[in-house]
């Protein structure tokens, strides 16, 4: 009797937590991020459009919600042995979407796998996926993305060594390491380990925030057949994210292109820039002026509240309210709703306005050029020494991951045609001050100071440094069982 009482006291907080968030234990659920649909909601949405969620690798639609995630990059040494090991040892562990949803049978460690073009070549899979950036690999396209060549790239990403990546997600690194041991023994000599990057959600109270301090993973598109949109969320057809068109090989259906970028963030240097350049307004302290500059560079405050709805100071209640924190178009009442010309609340150059211009390209919003972001921070918190010296001494950043059905129309377009384009979406807006890249040269950014719209900022430091990456294809479970298996 005593034991029953005791166990119900212990279990109660757990039950309440499940009732509130209901997420798999592998995932975080900060209030500012829209919750995932329940398994039954997702299944009925999928049935309505004929999407087979159990055939799709789970990470593709889950978003920036993993607690811990390891990226294990490998080369294939023996293609035949790899194909048979894949079938016997990896495929049974590959996690599709439903187990990760509230109400799903969450595994201890979730596993996904994806292959580069070099991996396709190693496996002698010759079908053309019809995606030029994928076929060429990221190393070849580095300068086109605005990287200063590959001088800052870590050696594993240079050349054509990486054939595939295995993504392992769990609530503890021990679980991940245990799965990795099993995995390596299953794959034996058929692969060679090239590189691993361990990511982790930042510790509370920063859980869900990227290293500059901003809540991330708020705005991902609602994919029809997976979820209903929350207010302001872009709605896209499954074919924007998943390969669905008949010009691609039939086995590629239900797969998606995975872009991986190891993006180092120079956090002390970023903070120094904000401290040195506060926006001066009579109503603001110097600190508030620096915070405002940072918020306008992103388009959101650290809490996630959009500057469009809270233009002068952060509003954490708004930030945490998923019914309001994404519900805006950049068109203020009284303005031309399909061509807003005003940047008093959010600069045209702000990171989220460059990468999703909403009404700037006319309403209703175009269903093109959307990606599902699924990355995770890596590296430690800043040390006292780094804060004091305004200098990064240990690498930290974002293990950037995004999914799309075309890299040219997704990641590559957002980076090259919007973020790096000083004339997007209006003439002379300058670079996206967060991810805009000018091959290492200074970046001019306009519109950041609402008190002086003509003030031009010339940013001498890249606060985000590309350490390289690769383009992958994340096949469906049925393709893994056939095309990729022997």
* Residue ranges in contact with ligand N7H by CB under 6 A: 210, 212, 214, 216-219, 263, 265, 298, 300, 351-352, 355-356, 371, 373, 397-398, 400, 411, 414-415, 434-435, 464
By beta-carbon proximity to ligand N7H, the closer residue of 65 and 351 is: 351
- The residues, any chain, with a CB within 8 Å of residue 431's CB and separated by 6 or more, are 349, 419, 420, 422, 437, 438, 443, 444, 445, 459
Contacts of 465 (CB under 8 A, 6+ apart): 152, 263, 264, 265, 266, 397
Q: Cα–Cα distances in Å, from 286 out to 125, 279, 359? A: 59, 8, 32
In whole angstroms, give the CA distance from residue 199 to residue 378.
4
Which of 352/479 has CB closer to ligand N7H?
352
Q: Residue 258 and residue 195: Cα distance in Å, rounded?
A: 17
* Segments in 261-357 forming alpha helices (H): 267-276, 286-298, 316-319, 351-355
Closest Cα to residue 316, out of 330, 331, 300? Answer: 300
CB 64 within 8 A of CB 454: no
Which tokens go with 478? 């049925």
Q: Indicate the Cα dihedral angle 111, 114, 118, 119, nearest 10°.
A: 60
Helix and strand totals (H; E) in the chain: 15, 13
**Nearest residue (CB) to ligand N7H, 30 versus 107:** 30
Distance CA 241, CA 261 (A): 18
- CB nearer ligand N7H, residue 46 or residue 263: 263
User: Is the Cβ of residue 72 or residue 214 nearer to ligand N7H in the bound state?
Assistant: 214
By the 8 A CB rule, do 351 and 219 touch? Answer: no
Nearer of residues 94 and 434 to ligand N7H, judged by Cβ: 434
For 234, half-sphere exposure in the C-beta direction (CA atoms, 13 angstrom radius) is 25
> Both tokens of residue 437?
């890249």
Q: How far is the CB of 466 from ligand N7H (least distance, A)?
A: 9
Q: How far apart are CA 419 and CA 280, in angstroms?
A: 26
Strand partners, 197: 71
* Listed residue (274, 329, 316) closest to 297, CA to CA: 274
Q: CB of residue 397 vs ligand N7H: minimum separation in angstroms?
A: 6
In the bound state with ligand N7H, the residue whose beta carbon lies nearer, of 68 and 300, is 300
Q: At what angle do helices 267-276 and 286-298 cross, to 10 degrees?
A: 120
Catalytic residue among 216, 315, 360, 432: 216
Handedness of CA 76, 79, 83, 85 (dihedral sign): negative
In the complex, residue closest to ligand N7H by CB: 219
- 220: its two tokens: 């991902």
Q: Which is nearer to ligand N7H, 111 or 414 (CB)?
A: 414
Q: 397 vs 475, which CB is nearer to ligand N7H?
A: 397
Cis peptide before 205 (omega within 30 of 0): yes
Q: What are phi and psi of 265, to 5 degrees?
A: -115, 125
CA distances from 261 to 48, 142, 377 (A): 34, 11, 12
- Quote the least distance from Cβ 185 to ligand N7H, whole Å: 35
CA distance 225 to 37: 11
The pair of structure tokens assigned to 49 is 């459009």
Contacts of 147 (CB under 8 A, 6+ apart): 153, 437, 439, 466
Annotated active-site residue 342? The verdict is no
214 vs 257, beta carbon nearer ligand N7H: 214
Catalytic residues: 216
């Amino acid at each position: 009797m005593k034991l029953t009482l005791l166990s119900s006291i212990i279990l109660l907080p757990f039950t309440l937590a499940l009732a509130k968030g209901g997420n798999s234990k592998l995932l975080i659920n900060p209030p500012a991020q829209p919750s995932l649909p329940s398994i039954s909601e997702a299944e009925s949405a999928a049935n309505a459009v004929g999407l087979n969620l159990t055939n799709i690798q789970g990470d593709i639609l889950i978003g920036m919600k993993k607690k811990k995630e390891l990226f294990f990059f490998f080369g294939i040494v023996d293609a035949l042995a790899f194909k048979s090991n894949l079938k016997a040892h990896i495929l049974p562990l590959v996690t599709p979407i439903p187990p990760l949803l509230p109400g799903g049978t969450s595994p201890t460690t979730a596993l996904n796998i994806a292959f580069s073009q070099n991996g396709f070549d190693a496996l002698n899979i010759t079908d053309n996926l019809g995606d030029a950036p994928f076929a060429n690999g990221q190393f070849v396209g580095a300068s086109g993305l605005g990287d200063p060549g590959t001088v800052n790239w870590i050696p594993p990403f240079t050349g054509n060594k990486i054939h595939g990546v295995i993504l392992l997600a769990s609530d503890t690194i021990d679980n991940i390491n245990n799965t990795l041991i099993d995995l390596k023994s299953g794959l034996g000599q058929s692969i060679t380990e090239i590189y691993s990057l361990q990511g982790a959600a930042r510790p509370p109270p920063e859980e869900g925030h990227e290293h500059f301090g901003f809540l991330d993973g708020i705005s991902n598109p609602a994919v029809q057949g997976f979820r209903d949109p929350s207010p302001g969320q872009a709605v896209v057809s499954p074919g924007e994210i998943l390969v669905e068109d008949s010009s691609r090989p039939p086995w590629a259906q239900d797969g998606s292109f995975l872009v991986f970028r190891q993006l180092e963030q120079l956090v002390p240097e970023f903070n120094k820039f904000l401290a040195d350049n506060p926006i001066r307004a009579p109503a603001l302290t110097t600190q508030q002026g620096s915070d405002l500059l940072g918020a306008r560079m992103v388009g959101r405050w650290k809490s996630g509240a959009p500057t469009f709805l809270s233009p002068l100071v952060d509003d954490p209640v708004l930030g945490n309210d998923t019914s309001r924190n994404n519900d805006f178009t950049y068109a203020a009442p009284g303005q031309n709703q399909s061509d807003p010309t005003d940047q008093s609340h959010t600069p045209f150059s702000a990171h989220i306005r460059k990468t999703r211009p909403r009404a700037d390209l006319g309403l209703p919003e175009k269903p093109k050029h959307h990606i599902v972001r699924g990355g995770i921070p890596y590296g430690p918190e800043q040390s006292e020494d780094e804060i004091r010296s305004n200098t990064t001494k240990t690498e930290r950043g974002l293990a950037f991951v995004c999914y799309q059905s075309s890299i040219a129309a997704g990641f590559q377009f957002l980076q090259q045609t919007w973020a790096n384009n000083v004339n997007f979406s209006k003439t002379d807006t300058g670079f996206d001050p967060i991810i805009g890249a000018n091959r290492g040269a200074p970046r001019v950014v306009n519109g950041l100071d609402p008190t002086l719209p003509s003030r031009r900022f010339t940013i001498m430091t890249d606060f985000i440094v590309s350490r390289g990456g690769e383009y992958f294809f994340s096949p469906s479970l049925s393709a893994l069982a056939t095309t990729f298996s022997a």
